[in-house]
Amino acid sequence: MRNIALKMMYDGTAYHGWQVQKNDVTVAGTLEKALSKMCGHTVKAVGCGRTDAGVHAKCYCANFKTDSRIPCDRIPFAVNALLPPDISVTAAAEVEDDFNAILSCDRKEYTYYIYNSRIKDPFYHNRAYFYPSPLKLEVMREAAREFVGTHDFAAVRSVGTETKTTVRTVYYYDVEQKGDIFSLRVCADGFLYNMARAMAGTLIYASEGKLAPEDIPGLLEKRDRRHTGPTVPPQGLYMTRLWYGGTAGEKLFK
């Protein structure tokens, strides 16, 4: 049995998140149907994260087991012919038997895009968060720096998924502006449910003066979701980079 890792990207607008659900169309369910048809047997895919409904991925990893002998360099062409245009497999590699897309991932990066203009742009609909009030770049950068390090992030987690610990390490959180687009790029060893979106909302609160950047460490210590910023809409969030060791890291995610 071969263990195949896939590098993927997708537009999450039409999907109810990654994870397979009985009554909703999901990215995993759509991928598994295509892979099963390609391989000639039922395929179950493991994804690197449970992206929510409407969240996108410029970089994503999934793995599956198969007896099919189709060469890895042919897999993207074969499976893409069976996938809708908003999901694409860009590369494939045979990896170690114990490789698991979520458990083997060392770090993840998400980027949240905000379209900051008084007038909406239809070409950013479902691609970025339209926010008409002026944002303060330097204040948001100061606030982002307060999240860097190892902390208990319960204050920026939505209720819904239980974890053994709410402690995570954020390696960097960079805020950039190009024209009307703000990009909030955060890398961590793992993310809690809605953590990236709640952190982005907290940066917006800081820009609005509803909290000061230096307040954030104290808010994290309180572990109370009510004191941090809102969970911003999903359409601005993208998974943008992944880190792996072993074959997956060498062949797919350098």
Query: Which amino acids are annotated catalytic?
Result: 52
- CA angle at residue 237 from 73 to 122, to 5 degrees? 100
Residue of 126, 149, 103, 146 whose CA lies nearest to 242: 103
Residue of 164, 31, 191, 11 whose CA lies nearest to 109: 191
Q: What share of the chain is helix, strand, coil (3-state, %, to 5)?
A: 30, 30, 45
The answer to whether the beta carbons of residues 69 and 51 sit under 8 Å apart is: no
- CA angle at residue 154 from 107 to 171, to 5 degrees? 30
The DSSP element (H or E) to which 219 belongs, if any, is: helix 216-222
Integer-rounded Cα Rg, in Å, for the chain is 19
Q: How far apart are CA 18 and CA 54, in angstroms?
A: 10
